[in-house]
Chain A
């Protein structure tokens, strides 16, 4: 009989496992309650263990409302010779590629809002490094979006775009 089997069969072992089960059930509830005073108290109480073992979770997929717009990100790279190139995240393909590209879409969704300012400089620098062979001098991040019309009205607005961050690149940054 294995050690685990021995523990699972003994009354003391079952008591310990029951405690663990009870904790997990409370943790799941505490983590998922709607934002409230109770949720704050409960989630703070279980946070050290929940974060420590990776039980933190969020199941609000397309909730409370699905996004009503389509978004995109373009980086404009200017080179020392005056030429310009555009970079978009690797998000093409419909079959195998989506199992890779969903992460890039998630990243675009996460870094586009104004609250994500700390992530803009590293993103622009990473794009510059991808083009270091051509001697880039600046990278501008451009947010693109279009609004989807309510169902029945067929379609969406035209694309809008907004340049939200520019990084002036020096050779030292590309090392």
Chain B
């Protein structure tokens, strides 16, 4: 192998396989599990309408190579059973209890519900399903999990080092999401003439809180918001790989997604994206944050001293009301 080939191979190995703390993976698992739990809960009122045999889509047109545990036209019993499994699975994933089985179940069940009725899905649902796939491949229960607590109770607050390739895939997936989002946008006219954000904020059926008129009607402001969105998204795709810029870009990304969440009905899209940002927190930083938080929590907790070494309170030191109560 040539020296350049060796360098490339070493770089590939370092990027995907050099072991890192599993602190980031542990937090990512917890937040993803919680988001999936919320996603599942929000389906409850419409289970029969969306997935039942007498619902709005009694029979699913199955695209090639797709599958769903729900099949093309499931009974309500099966729908409810798999729904309950997804609720339990997402909680187990968040807790890290039977993590691998929970992660596989969450991926399988998310995909089953998605495939059963694709008429109700948006990009946030896609992202949750894709994240669940990557998480299933990772040693997600290695840290911050019930599994870890059961196996190594005394070393719970350690974050065993493992190859980060699955978390890397989530990072690349996020980059790809922004890159291809920008690519799709610049092929239209409204993103090019700088008016797209105004239209997006005025789609009545997608508006949660109406945007103030100066944000939608002042052309200078509208242009700045539209081009600013494109600039931020392309930065989140490419410049986020720069360690120095990353925290600032992620903060800007969180602000952008929170403002989308505030103004536009996008379901779980913003929440799923922000949850996925955890993948970008370096394992060293995440370990520092977690151990620091643990330290602070411990400082606030009363120190346990065995009862035998505590001096018994003298009668004179007792509060007066306590003494009077004992007289009655």
Q: Is B228 an interface residue (CB 8 A)?
A: no
Q: Which residues of B contact A63 (CB under 8 A)?
A: 181, 184-185, 187-188, 191
Complex contact B50–A103 (CB within 8 A) = yes
Q: Which residues of B contact A110 (CB under 8 A)?
A: 119-120
Tell me, in angstroms, the Cα distance from A96 to B206 when the chains sit together: 15
Q: Is A111 an interface residue (CB 8 A)?
A: yes
- Chain B, interface size category, equals 35 or more
User: Which residue of A67, A69, A94 contacts B209 across the interface (Cβ within 8 Å)?
Assistant: A94
A-B contact count (CB 8 A): 201
Complex contact A72–B205 (CB within 8 A) = yes
Bitwise interface map of A from 109 to 151 toward B, beta carbon under 8 Å scored 1, else 0: 1110000001100110010010000000000000000101011
Complex contact A51–B63 (CB within 8 A) = yes
Segment 127-142 of B: residues with Cβ below 8 Å from A: 127, 129-130, 132-133, 139
B215 CB → nearest A CB, Å: 10
Bitwise interface map of A from 91 to 108 toward B, beta carbon under 8 Å scored 1, else 0: 100100011111111111
Contact segment of B86-94, B161-169, B301-309, B315-323:
B161-169
Number of interface residues of A (CB under 8 A): 72
Complex contact A21–B188 (CB within 8 A) = no
Complex contact A65–B133 (CB within 8 A) = no
Bitwise interface map of B from 151 to 185 toward A, beta carbon under 8 Å scored 1, else 0: 00000000000110100010011001111110111
Task: Give the secondary structure class of A's interface.
Answer: helix
Q: Which residues of A contact B54 (CB under 8 A)?
A: 126, 129
Q: Is A74 an interface residue (CB 8 A)?
A: no
Complex contact B45–A100 (CB within 8 A) = yes
Complex contact B199–A68 (CB within 8 A) = yes
Tell me, in angstroms, the Cα distance from A100 to B55 when the chains sit together: 16
Complex contact B120–A107 (CB within 8 A) = yes
Complex contact B122–A102 (CB within 8 A) = yes
Complex contact A57–B139 (CB within 8 A) = no
Q: Is B23 an interface residue (CB 8 A)?
A: no
Q: Is A81 an interface residue (CB 8 A)?
A: no
Complex contact A61–B269 (CB within 8 A) = yes
Complex contact B265–A98 (CB within 8 A) = yes
Complex contact B196–A55 (CB within 8 A) = no
Q: Is A64 an interface residue (CB 8 A)?
A: yes
Interface residues, chain B, CB within 8 Å of chain A? Answer: 12-13, 16-17, 38-39, 42-43, 45-46, 49-50, 54-58, 61, 63-67, 107, 110-111, 114, 119-123, 126-127, 129-130, 132-133, 139, 162-163, 165, 169, 172-173, 176-181, 183-185, 187-191, 195-196, 198-200, 202-206, 208-209, 213, 216-219, 222, 265-269
Instruction: List 29 A–B pairs whose Cβ atoms lie within 8 Å, in order of A's numbering.
Output: A2-B139, A14-B16, A28-B173, A47-B64, A51-B66, A52-B66, A57-B177, A58-B123, A59-B176, A60-B185, A61-B181, A64-B185, A64-B187, A64-B189, A70-B203, A71-B205, A98-B265, A99-B267, A99-B268, A103-B267, A106-B122, A107-B119, A109-B205, A122-B56, A122-B58, A150-B198, A151-B198, A151-B218, A154-B213
